[in-house]
Amino acid sequence: MKVKGRVLKYGDNVDTDVIIPARYLNTADKKELASHCMEDIDREFVRRVKPGDIMVAGRNFGCGSSREHAPIAIKESGIALIIAKSFARIFYRNAINIGLPIVECEAAADEIEAGDEVEMDFDTGLIRNITKNREYKAQPFPAFIQSIIAAGGLVGAVRSGAIGDKTRK
Amino acid sequence: MKMTMTQKILAAHAGVDSVRAGEIVLVDVDMVLGNDITSPVAINEFSKFGRAGVFDNSKVALVMDHFAPNKDIKAAEQCKLCREFAAEKRIKNFFDGGEMGVEHALLPERGLVTAGDVVIGADSHTCTYGALGAFSTGIGSTDMAFGMATGKAWFKVPPAIKFYLTGKPGRWVTGKDVILHIIGKIGVDGALYRSMEYRGPGVAELSVSDRLCMANMAIEAGAKNGIFPVDEKTLEFLKKAGAKPPVIYEADEDAEYEQVIEIDMSNIEPTVAFPHLPGNTKTFDEFGEIKIDQVVIGSCTNGRLEDLIQAAEVLKGRKVARGVRTIVIPATPKIYLEALEMGLLRIFLEAGAVVSPPTCGPCLGGHMGILAKGERAVATTNRNFVGRMGHPESEVYLASPYVAAASAVTGKISHPKEVIS
Ligand code: SF4
């Protein structure tokens, strides 16, 4: 599976309060959440984002609260992939559980700039910056996580029997 | 064996003899928690699993604390959805109205978590219960739905950092100052994906309330969990709360830690985290006069009785500065009642503070004390991100109840000794 898109870039420690401020958490409506995505850090985000765009950020992306509303708002905005130097752990599992692809790659996150066109192949972990003609290799996911992503999220993985009651993976 | 305390709990709940860092395990959980913000999303996901009921109706807790008492129509609808779900699934631990308190203060107080448990909660500060020797951590709504349906959760077994505590904290130094000091030292991702395991003779110097505060903020260092060894104080707390019999796990002597950080608590000063990160800490010798507009004393970090006692110690017989809105939020109804009986609420009211019913309220910028553009607050809460307590151009300074109360009196961020000599 491959995605290709234009990059929107952010810095370190992008927290869940700026991804989706708590004042909008009185709803679980995906469209409404997406309409306020990144509002407190980038007022232009909602207007600029296009389906298939790729978000690139620095360290500790998604730190803060456990609100799944954060990856939901990003996914619903049309973002197809997030590349960051590192992710906060709850954001990381939430994104995987809802089927939003995210990868950690320090070099890619450093060098890719806003507006670049980037392609990623999930099978090989290869990230290609088409604009700058550079390539990066991201760590492939462990098999257990791959099975969740392949099923489109945790719900799908349980329903398809990919995750059962075995304790060791 | 070479397992950390966290790894031992995970192994036991995965039904295996040992686990190692990096391995993914599916574990049995003892409690699944959700609140009025995260549960609606989880309830929706739960329906997709196609299970009639939750795995165990005594092992799910739903607490309507964030936007409750319902702040607006949408919040009311979310609570209603949770209430109906709780009734339909016969969930025993549903807390609403006069039974509701801030979840992470409420669960320990009600004896719903005990040492050795695995607790997951769709709230990042679920890591609080590590103070009681449990493995507890925040997860998302889909994980919560999965937990409610199957009684399980998936985890990557974390490596750990050992914090070896020595010394005794000084007169005005609390667990809050210790954890702010630690986060300031290691950074907001200093323990990313890791366990923060506390050990050493200093642990005995900390009250259970201090430990709850410190475990609560493990997430602010990016950690998966923070955990304290079980001692007499823990056992006494658990007994008083009527918790199930504890199971005590101890780290192996030869457990592997990525890092050992020694913290001499006698050297720690009252510490304040400046906007907009909990790791952006300063001590009083590092900043000048900072005027404030609001003080919030409450939350799952510092809304317990001990915190209110500390705030009252400073506010007793004094008045809050003119123009400084001071909001005190006892975290649970029981704390509220105890504060009432001890005369603390009178002290707060006579000082000119507002006493709020238990709620998360302003901690996450929900209601009951939102900041306008350009305003500054000193809060005993745990996060000071951009816009956390209101307008994106407002500022939150995190501190202990002593510092918050002293700041309320002077109208600027103040060391308690400026008020009490
Ligand atoms: S008091 Fe604040 S940090 Fe604690 S659960 Fe409520 S909103 Fe979250």
Whether residue A140 has pLDDT greater than 80: no
Q: What is the pLDDT, as a whole number, of residue A120?
A: 94
Chain B residues close to A68, C-beta within 8 Å = 38, 41, 122, 140-142
Q: Which of B24, B44, B193 sits opposite A144 (nearest CB)?
A: B24
Long-range contacts of B72-78 (CB under 8 A, 24+ apart): B72/A26, B74/A26, B74/A27, B75/A26, B75/B36, B78/A26, B78/A27, B78/A28, B78/B36, B78/B37, B78/B39, B78/B40
The highest-level CATH class for domain B271-418 is alpha beta
Q: Are B142 and B158 in contact (CB under 8 A)?
A: no
CA separation for the pair B269, B286 (Å, rounded): 11
Q: Are strands B281-283 and B271-273 parallel, antiparallel or unpaired?
A: antiparallel
Q: What is the pLDDT, as a whole number, of residue A169?
A: 40
> Is B143 in contact with A94 (Cβ distance < 8 A)?
yes
B305 CB-near residues (< 8 Å, 6+ apart):
B209, B330, B335, B338, B339
pLDDT digits (tens, 9 = 90+) for B365-413: 999 999 999 999 999 999 999 999 999 999 999 999 999 999 999 999 9
Which of B24, B27, B142, B220 to mutate against chain A (most A CBs within 10 Å)? B142
Q: What is the pLDDT, as a whole number, of residue A167?
A: 43
Q: What is the pLDDT, as a whole number, of residue A124?
A: 86
A168: which DSSP letter?
B
Q: What is the pLDDT, as a whole number, of residue B239?
A: 98
Chain B residues close to A41, C-beta within 8 Å = 386
3-class secondary-structure state, position A68: coil
Those residues of chain B that have pLDDT short of 50 are: none
Q: Which of A26, A41, A98 sits opposite B78 (nearest CB)?
A: A26
Which DSSP helix (H) or strand (E) runs through A16? Answer: helix A16-19
Q: Which of B126, B142, B366 sits opposite A97 (nearest CB)?
A: B142
pLDDT digits (tens, 9 = 90+) for A109-122: 999 999 999 999 98
A23: which DSSP letter?
G
Cα B362 to middle of ligand 1, angstroms: 9
Q: What is the pLDDT, as a whole number, of residue A149?
A: 80
CATH 3.30.200.20 fits B5-263, yes or no: no
CA separation for the pair A55, A37 (Å, rounded): 13
> Is A89 in contact with B188 (Cβ distance < 8 A)?
no
Cα B209 to middle of ligand 1, angstroms: 16
Going B384 to B388 to B390 to B394, the CA torsion angle's sign is: positive
Amino acid at B322: R
Q: Which two tokens stand for residue B253?
A: 């002597």
- Burial group, residue B49, by CB count within 10 angstroms (0-12, 13-18, 19+): middle
Q: What is the pLDDT, as a whole number, of residue B325?
A: 98
Q: What are phi and psi of B382, to 5 degrees?
A: -120, -10
CA-based nearest distance A85→chain B, Å? 12
Q: Are B64 and B84 in contact (CB under 8 A)?
A: no
CA separation for the pair B9, B6 (Å, rounded): 5
Q: What are phi and psi of B31, to 5 degrees?
A: -155, 135
Q: Which two tokens stand for residue B363?
A: 């901690």
Residues of chain B with CATH 3.30.499.10: 5-263, 271-418
Banded model confidence at residue A9, pLDDT cuts 50, 70, 90: very high
Which DSSP helix (H) or strand (E) runs through A118? Answer: strand A117-121
Ligand 1 neighbours (beta carbon < 6 A): B 66, 102-104, 123, 125, 299-300, 360, 363-364, 381-382
Of A1, A139, A113, the closest CA to residue A57 belongs to A113
Of A87, A108, A115, the closest CA to residue A7 belongs to A115
Angle at B126 between CA B379 and CA A106, to 5 degrees: 90
CA-based nearest distance A115→chain B, Å? 25
Q: Are B179 and B215 in contact (CB under 8 A)?
A: no
Cα distances (Å, whole numbers) of residue B408 to A105, B279, B319, B358, B387: 45, 23, 8, 20, 21
Whether residue A168 has pLDDT greater than 50: no
With CA atoms as reference, the chain B residue closest to A62 would be: B222
pTM for the complete prediction?
0.94
Residue with tokens 């232009």: A44
Chain B residues close to A69, C-beta within 8 Å = 37, 41
CA separation for the pair B69, B303 (Å, rounded): 17
Which DSSP helix (H) or strand (E) runs through A39? Answer: none
3-class secondary-structure state, position A129: strand
CA separation for the pair B128, B302 (Å, rounded): 12
Which of A15, A39, A90, A139 to mutate against chain B (most B CBs within 10 Å)? A90
Sheet of B160-166: strands edge to edge?
B225-227, B195-199, B160-166, B259-264
Average pLDDT, whole number, for chain A? 91
pLDDT digits (tens, 9 = 90+) for A59-87: 999 999 999 999 999 999 999 999 999 99
> Is B25 in contact with A163 (Cβ distance < 8 A)?
no
Banded model confidence at residue A165, pLDDT cuts 50, 70, 90: low
> Is B385 in contact with A18 (Cβ distance < 8 A)?
yes
